[in-house]
Homo-oligomer: A and B are copies of this chain.
Amino acid sequence: MDSDLLFGSVSAQKPVALELYSLIKDLPILSPHSHIDPALFNTRFDNPVEVLIQPDHYILRMLVSQGVPYSQILSKENPCDVWQLFADYFYLFRGTPSGLWFNHTLKNILGVNEKLDSSSATSIYNQIVAKFAEPEFTPKKLFNKMRIEVLATTDPVTSALEYHRAIPSLGLNGRVIPTFRADNMINILLPSWTANIQLLETASGVEIKDFNSFIAALEQRRAYFKSLGGTATDTSCSLPETTFLSHAEVETIFQRALKGQAGKQDAALFTAHMVTEMARMSVEDGMVMQLHSGIYRNHNPEIFNQFGPDKGFDIPIRTEFTRNLKPLLDRFGNNANLTLILFTLDEALYSRELAPIAGAYPAIRIGPPWWFCDSWNGINRYFDLVMETAGLYNTVGFIDDTRSFLSIPARHDLWRRVSANWLARLLVQHLIDRRDAEEMAIELAVGLVKRTYHL
């Protein structure tokens, strides 16, 4: 990455930004929420297409948006042809964060100095293949080279976490820890729900015959995740609705669900109740709760039916926190044992709802820009819209949320550069002094995330 990448446009603050950036650019990486496969660290990299293109839904969606068929991009035959196709269309990523991350990975991780286009495609493909063959170029060795101190994965509650158990023997210089994700358990309309409950019974050793035993089984799993270093849970739902049902109400719904007789309203109420219940469990076991909402998943049925989820067709929807979260906040909002981190894709919420809520309730923190929003403009908007009302200390630093292991350094570097730029502006405007700026820079890079996630 160019040393002054992103710093060039405002002369008056560039030298200050560079100084602040130099303080943080080499600090270790803490990644408290990702979708990296924990099995990765015992393997080698496949061909460039399987590592860099096919798992990256940001790249897939952009290609398909311009008419490239998924069947071609996702083909397992002739990766060299897929790579050429990608290179032919790489101009689509001009000025996008996907383009920035990709170029960064090419240059800083893979040592490629050419610009990717139709004519350089084959040469670059061969360079990457050669790199992947080097003995030093394994996921494990790269983990250490990237100075990763903690990497949290995302795991179903029924997982045996066998790869996490094996990690200590691999010789990594940092930790790989699981995150408890119960989404498959709280949506009772999933066709697989009763099967999921059976898996939960098996995993937890708790017979699930009613709501109380269901909760007991989940609590058993949370304890298991904690025992392997897990410090957080993650919940994703389309809208952040919460409620608190009486025991009788929730039991009735749960029994209907067990019999496969639950309806849409049952499901909405059950999910809303379970979000509050997850907060209750966090109050008790101290695990940090993450809530990702405001997304219509699998919006394109044709693509979903043919190619499955996570192919780039999840579309954000309008979201609301002030009324939706009230039942949960009435119960646990003032409880300092709870840390509930809210993420949004609806940027209208930053200043209108998120900052005022997190700037008042002890239990609430604001997650960093997420998914479509963790670009340079997106991060800038976040700083401008959130910080004045919530204050830096009600935010939690950076979270890469990535599915692409090789992109981790690019993403954290982008965050650190935008942080340095933002603080430089506050400093040259005399809104903070240098000591403030330096401490805030370090907080944004490592301090906030370390404390918030108990890492």
26 cross-chain CB contacts under 8 A: A8-B429, A9-B429, A62-B359, A64-B360, A65-B361, A65-B364, A66-B394, A91-B439, A94-B432, A95-B387, A95-B388, A95-B426, A95-B431, A95-B436, A96-B389, A296-B323, A301-B330, A302-B330, A312-B359, A313-B361, A316-B353, A318-B322, A347-B348, A351-B373, A355-B372, A377-B384
- Contacts A6-B429, A300-B333 given; 13 further ones with Cβ under 8 A? A9-B13, A65-B359, A65-B390, A94-B392, A94-B436, A94-B440, A96-B388, A296-B322, A300-B329, A313-B360, A317-B320, A356-B372, A381-B384
A299 at interface, CB cutoff 8 A: yes
Contacts of A330 in B (CB 8 A): 300-302
User: Footprint of B on A, CB under 8 Å?
Assistant: 2, 4-14, 61-62, 64-67, 91-97, 100, 115, 296, 299-303, 312-318, 320, 322-323, 326, 329-330, 333-334, 336, 345-348, 351-353, 355-362, 364, 372-373, 375-378, 381, 384-385, 387-394, 425-426, 428-433, 436, 439-440
Nearest chain B CB to A317 CB, angstrom units: 5
Contact B95 A302 (CB under 8 A): no
A433 CA / B439 CA spacing, docked (Å):
34
Interface centre among A303, A320, A355, A372 (most CB of B within 10 A): A372
Query: Are B92 and A393 within 8 A (Cβ)?
Result: yes
A8 touches B317 (CB 8 A): no
Q: Which residues of B contact A439 (CB under 8 A)?
A: 91
